[in-house]
Amino acid sequence: MTDASVSWTDERVELLKKLWNDGLSASQIASELGGVTRNAVIGKVHRLGLSGRSKTAPATPAPRPRKPSPPRPAGPVAEPIEEEEIVMVRPEPIAPAIDASPITFAEARPSEVAIPTSQRVTIMDLREAMCRWPIGDPTNAEFRFCGGRSITGLPYCPEHAQIAYQPAADRRRDRKLMRA
């Protein structure tokens, strides 16, 4: 901390300018002046506009020649694989084949037909065009998804789409009936 009685007199400012132009650091100037901190010196230098001090080019030592280091391997060296060792195997489809022709929501009609057990699929067998309607308890090992052909652009088959996507008027009517 600086002593409050120490101020920047004209003599101290002149000495600051001389030391700054001589290339001394702010810490060296602060210790030379006494009673001021390095930050006080920096502040005064900026207020006086002395930030562009004359710089003498310091003698930079010539760069030392480096010895080339031996190249290191990037990682474990693997033996080249011969083409005879590569075997391509096409996996057999797990899920049953489905009809890829698209159906629209307008064609979807609810039916009272139960979902055959053979149509139900696990999450591992579920594919893009299959119905994702959950059947059963997810914590149970027998949990499955519908697996029927889904409506184009929707995750459900026509039967489950009718359950999932009810018109707003029907939902309001059903709520009124539930309250009564």
Alpha-carbon distances, residue 105 vs 8, 39, 153 (angstroms):
87, 76, 9
Max distance between CA atoms of the chain, in angstroms, equals 104
Alpha-carbon distances, residue 168 vs 3, 105, 151 (angstroms):
80, 16, 20
* pLDDT at residue number 13: 92
What is 15-50 written as a DSSP string?
HHHHHHHTT--HHHHHHHH-S--HHHHHHHHHHHT-
> What is the model's pTM?
0.34
Mean pLDDT of the chain: 75
Which candidate, 45, 172, 164, places its Cα nearest to that of 110?
A: 164
Which candidate, 122, 127, 157, 126, places its Cα nearest to that of 140?
A: 122
CB neighbours (10 Å) of residue 99? 8
**pLDDT tens digits for range 25-54:** 999 999 998 899 999 999 999 898 886 655
More confident: 152 or 58: 152
CA distance 117 to 107: 24
